[in-house]
Amino acid sequence: KYNIPTAGYKVFTNADEAKDYAEKHHPPLVVKADGLAAGKGVFICPSMDEAFLAIDIIMNQKAFGEAGDRIIIEEFLSGEEASFLAFTDGEDVLPLASAQDHKRVYENDEGPNTGGMGAYSPAPIITPSMQKKVMNEIMIPTVNAMKSEGRTFKGVLYAGLMIAKNGPKVLEFNARFGDPETQPILMRMRTDIVDVFTAVIEGRLKDIKLEWDKRTAVCVVMASEGYPGDYEKGKAITGLEEVKDMKDVVVFHAGTILEDGKFLTNGGRVLGVTAIGQGIKRAIKNAYKAVEKIDWDGVHYRKDIGAKAARSR
Ligand code: GLY
């Protein structure tokens, strides 16, 4: 309705019509359940057989219940993903520093998708001209669209983007910060966040200017063995005291619990070990120096967080 760039798509409520449409398009195709499916309702289909199978699983076998009553068939987008976050008071839109996360559980982007195994800020792919494009083509039109729909939005708008050859396209929107992108972004933010939140609430965002640390920040997520599948909880975490006073390092707790004065694991993504440094290589080094001091039975983390950004320098 508002011409905000996304993948080309069509919506279906009938499996046969969906298959007729799919047949007229070249794979790869993306087939999505339209409702919420606990992150499992998206099928990337390299062949027509797989696209038909995905339509059957969602619409005929009803694997996601009513969430699959409507499906979307989308063009497959290739490019690099980036997270673009902005504060808005419903009128003005103030972009945060750029960031990228690493979604797959294993090195070299292998294995299943997770909520994010690490992130860095800034993201080299979001050049100043790309930032302008994203603001003018996506963020500002979206905030204006919500206002004109009578649903003025105040808060953090998060656009998950694919930076495709022909420009940025929206993959998803979230009305929240990104995890783990926020850890490196906020390590770099010099402006008092409470002032920003107050300005958002009071509609004074145009008076705020965000100040950023020019250095790079990297967050390495330390996770439980088995995540994003089943995992055990209650493992004793060691090394937190050792990293507490390390310069330019902050350990964000995500899935921990304090019992009898000891930190135990209590979730899939347990810690976001975040460090800042002059340039991506130094930031990576600082983060892993801290990560290596922390341990528990079955700890898992990727060893290549930030490598993608370091390569594109
Ligand atoms: N890191 C992805 C998200 O927060 O949705």
Long-range pairs for 38-45 at CB < 8 Å and ≥24 separation? Answer: 39/113, 40/64, 41/67, 41/68, 44/76
**Contact 174 CB / ligand 1 (< 6 Å):** yes
**Distance between CA atoms of 88 and 294, rounded to whole angstroms?**
37
10 Å Cβ neighbour count for 59? 23
pLDDT in tens, 296-311: 999 999 999 999 898 8
Strand, helix or coil for residue 234: coil
pTM: 0.91
Ligand 1 binding pocket mutation candidate from 101, 157, 162 (most atoms within 8 A of CB) = 101
pLDDT in tens, 74-115: 999 999 999 999 999 999 999 999 999 999 999 999 998 898
Residue 86 tokens read as 């902005």
pLDDT in tens, 215-238: 999 999 999 999 999 999 999 999
Q: What pLDDT is recorded for position 313? A: 60
Q: How far is CA 261 from CA 211, 241, 243, in A?
A: 37, 12, 17
Which is the closest atom of ligand 1 to the Cα of 180? 1
Q: What is the mean pLDDT of the chain?
A: 96
**Distance between CA atoms of 236 and 260, rounded to whole angstroms?**
11
Ligand 1 centroid–CA 21 distance in Å is 31
Ligand 1 binding pocket mutation candidate from 181, 186, 227, 269 (most atoms within 8 A of CB) = 181
**pLDDT per residue as tens, the chain (313 positions):** 999 999 999 999 999 999 999 999 999 999 999 998 877 788 999 999 999 999 999 999 999 999 999 999 999 999 999 999 999 999 999 999 999 999 999 999 999 889 899 999 999 999 999 999 999 999 999 999 999 999 999 999 999 999 999 999 999 999 999 999 999 999 999 999 999 999 999 999 999 999 999 999 999 999 999 999 999 999 999 999 999 999 999 999 999 999 999 999 999 999 999 999 999 999 999 999 999 999 999 999 999 999 989 887 6
